[in-house]
Amino acid sequence: MKADVHQGDRGDSGQLVRRRRPGPRPRKRRALAAVALTALAAAVALLTGPAALAAADAWPVPSPAPTATWTLMVYMAGDNNLEPWLTHDIDKEMAAVGSNADVQIVALADRGAHPNAKDGSWTAARVFNVTQGMTATSGNAALDVGAVDMGSPQTLIDFVTWARAAYPAQHYALFFWDHGWGWWPGETMRDNTSNDYLDMDEIRDAMQAIGGVDMVGFDTCLSQMVEVEAEFRGFARAMAGSEDSIGYTGFSYSDILSGLQATPTMGAQKLAVLAARSMKHGHDKWTWASSAVSLGADWDALAAAVSDLGWDLAVRLPGDRHAAVLARRMTASPPQTYPEVRDLYDAALKLRAEVSSLAVKRDCTRVIRAEQRVVLYEWHMNKEGPVHGIAVFWPSTPAPPKAGSSFSQWVNFGYYQSALQFARLTYWSDFLSAWGG
């Protein structure tokens, strides 16, 4: 959660196949199949690997609870200006329903050195197995883990490993609760005491170490970008979040828990839809959009289509730049985000209309059709404009250090190229390099 631009300030395995095209050839990248195989290997090692053993040493595990159908794990980084909302969401939303035999909810809640007085002003971090009617006092904690760095991937690994051992289930969901800003480094899971964040490459490393989960939810700003989704491909079946910034409320955990307890047999995709719908139901004045996305084989088709679009745009850019500039200018941008964020579906629509290349037009049609299959649910308010559930990074030109460059839009492009799975798996960053050149 939670909007970074307002006073709320919180912010199956498939294969990606590329066709080789004539003209300048972008550098090679690994196929998505290789990444999927890595995910499968990590999943096999989940219960026996070193990460599990390390967590067992650092976090004492009680006798496990009876196996539930679902365990929902909430990673709550409240060591920042969102701290007052940490206990609120536990007390007023999670505990309004609580855990039962079918659905367990476990939250790692971290507070700063100077918390508010709510629930006893305890500091550092506690783990709560949330039951109906409880409050997030230190005495109600299942575990006191002391001072932890919520910006460290090891903390995420330890929490998930501990929660799975203590509250085993047939299926697992992981929710990230805090500041966030898409793929950008230095924005997600802010820990003020440690002056640290969980960047996307670190989250992916942690997901690989734990072997993934069934469903991922981002109670943060700007999570529903294709670049972020790529980090979870192979490590989750579905994802819920927003392609814009969100306000204080974010997900309604009471809606999620009551809906899941009513139908505990639902799968990951239906849970993602339930979570995205809850964001609509309880939205505040800064939460304007939400979506749920499948991360299965259909997502691979979307990535392949975007990759081919990036290739063809890069190859044909000298002749089509003016048309591409016009298309970008007309493409919907979620209004509470950075201007370099563009709605992916609308970008394909505008490029198909403006660029003369038949290859680009075909690629755009593939992107549109693939996204229609991937997006399971989408909601937005009218002020969002024609958004469709997934955003993409498409900054203005030129890139630095040229005169007149929009530096703020390109400042983290080096991280984009070197650290993100999406840049490794597709040719979109090659288009961006040509676009900014």
Last residue of a domain, one of 277, 293, 309: 293
What integer pLDDT is reported at residue 401 of this predicted model? 77
282 lies in the same domain as 302: no
Q: Is 351 in the same domain as 237?
A: no
- Amino acid 362: pLDDT: 98
Which comes out higher in pLDDT, residue 69 or 40? Answer: 69
Are 276 and 149 members of one domain? Answer: yes
Examine the domain organization and report whether 286 and 424 are in the same domain.
Answer: no
Residues 313 and 259 in one domain: no
Q: Which residue has the higher pLDDT, 112 or 203?
A: 203
Residue 7's pLDDT band, with cuts at 50, 70 and 90, is: very low
Contact 374, 430 (CB under 8 A): no
| 152/189 Cα distance (integer angstroms) | 9
Note the pLDDT of residue 57.
55
Residue 35 has pLDDT above 60, yes or no: no
Residues 158 and 209 in one domain: yes
Residues 269 and 338 placed together within one structural domain of the fold: no
**pLDDT in the model for residue 323:** 97
Count of domains forming the chain = 2
Q: Is residue 396 part of a domain?
A: yes
Mean pLDDT of the 128-155 span? 96
For the chain, how are helix, strand and coil distributed in percent, rounded to 5? 45, 15, 40
| Between residues 150 and 19, the one the model is more confident about | 150
pLDDT in tens, 338-353: 899 999 999 999 999 9
Q: Last residue of some domain: 259, 293, 327? A: 293
- The pLDDT of residue 254 is 97
One domain, residues 219 and 257: yes
Residue with tokens 């802010």: 190
> Which residues constitute the domain of residue 354?
298-436
Q: What is the C-alpha separation between 77 and 385, in angstroms, rounded?
A: 31
Residues 125 and 177 placed together within one structural domain of the fold = yes
240 & 171 share domain: yes
Q: What is the pLDDT of residue 23?
A: 38
- Which residue carries 């670190």 as its tokens? 202
Residue 190 inside a domain? The answer is: yes
pLDDT, one tens digit per residue, over 295-315 is: 999 999 999 999 999 999 999
Q: Over the range 251-272, which residues count as b (16 or more CB within 10 Å of their CB) and which as e?
A: bbbbbbbebbbeebebebbbbb
pLDDT class of 52 with cuts at 50, 70, 90: very low
Q: What's the whole-model pTM score? A: 0.88
Paired tokens of 78: 């409240």
pLDDT of res. 383: 94
Which of 293, 324, 359 is at the close of a domain?
Answer: 293
Residue 60, classified by CB atoms within 10 Å of its CB into exposed (0-12), middle (13-18) or buried (19+), is: exposed
Cα–Cα distances (Å) from 294 to 200, 270, 378, 390, in that order, read 19, 10, 12, 11
Residue 129 within a domain:
yes
Which of the pair, 58 or 299, is modelled with greater confidence? 299
Residue 199 within a domain: yes
Instruction: Give pLDDT tens digits for 12-32.
Output: 333 333 333 333 333 333 334
> Over the chain, what is the mean pLDDT?
88
- pLDDT computed for residue 284 by the predictor: 76
**Residue 21 located in a structural domain:** no
| CATH code for position 289 | 3.40.50.11970
Give the length of the chain. Answer: 437
- Do 253 and 317 fall into the same domain? no
pLDDT over 50 at 50, yes or no = no
Q: What is the pLDDT of residue 249?
A: 84
Both 177 and 221 in one domain: the answer is yes
Does the residue 3 lie in any domain?
no
